[in-house]
Amino acid sequence: MQTLQAYIHDCLQPYNQATLHISDLSIQRGYGIFDFFKVQQGQPMFLDDYLKRFYESARQMELPVPLDTTELKEVIRQLIQANQLPLSGIKMILTGGYSESGYDIGKPNLIITEQPLTLPDQTIVTNGLKVITHSHVRELPEVKTINYTMGIRLLSNIKAAGAADMLYQQNGIVSEFPRCNFFIVTRDDVVVTPDKNVLSGITRKNVLQLARQKYKTEERAVTIADIAQAKEAFLTSTTKRILPIVQVDDLVIGNGKPGEITNELLADLIALEQTQL
């Protein structure tokens, strides 16, 4: 088996040996940010968008990034070159660094890993997903922090409900999944996605742009009542692209099958990805 390389402590090293001292603020206080993008045939997809968000998350959390954009791109290039994976995801984590007090921010540790990526099974695209809702708003939804306390703690709830994921809502207004954005298509073919308390997903942005070429789009509050009236629903994420949602709690969406516009947007997204190669 091939030994994957990772970038840590300012150089490439075998992933298996990549460690942080326990005084790192991610271990002590869950403090850090990250970002994640897809690499196809050696080409990072929509890299500039992901890097922009990464630097913005770092800024919001007062973490200086040790590399500038040019240096970071060069490291990413070297990592892709070293690992030679046909389809992969690259994750960049920036932690609070080694902290003597265990609370104050230190010199951030930058970790970049590359792992093989598996795209969602075609049966999910064909059948669609059931999701449940949970009353919660993330602490800093706009910032891609490493804090997934709620999402991971409730994995067993999702499983117990026979669901695929958990949609956050508060007072009937839905926002996002722990790792995906949410969309509905109304009965009059308007593509709608929540505007508040959501991470600015790069796939969300791409899908909005694609949808705008053919349909009316809206970024606005989406309620449970809107979902009950919707013709289609889907989620978006870097690894999952677009996945149809056919049920939210007890609400069956439309005719209970993946929608036409959902499938059309997925085809458009795959075509858009090709332009990055």
Binding site residues, a copy of itself, CB under 8 A = 6, 8, 15-16, 18-22, 24-32, 60-62, 91, 93, 95-96, 102-105, 111, 113, 115, 136, 139-140, 145-150, 152-153, 155-156, 179
Contacts of 248 (CB under 8 A, 6+ apart): 130, 131, 132, 133, 167, 224, 227, 233
* Cβ distance to a copy of itself smaller for residue 13 or 223: 13
* Cβ distance to a copy of itself smaller for residue 119 or 155: 155
Question: What are the residue ranges of helices labelled H in 61-201?
Answer: 69-83, 122-127, 149-153, 155-160
Between CA 146 and CA 149 the distance in angstroms is: 9
Whole-number minimum distance, CB 104 to a copy of itself, in Å? 7
* Cβ distance to a copy of itself smaller for residue 133 or 206: 133
CA count, 13 A, side-chain hemisphere, 125: 16
* Cβ distance to a copy of itself smaller for residue 158 or 230: 158
Between CA 196 and CA 218 the distance in angstroms is: 12
Whole-number minimum distance, CB 60 to a copy of itself, in Å? 8
Whole-number minimum distance, CB 91 to a copy of itself, in Å? 7
Whole-number minimum distance, CB 171 to a copy of itself, in Å? 14
CA dihedral of 50, 54, 60, 66, whole degrees rounded to 10: -150
* Cβ distance to a copy of itself smaller for residue 21 or 277: 21
Residues in the chain: 277
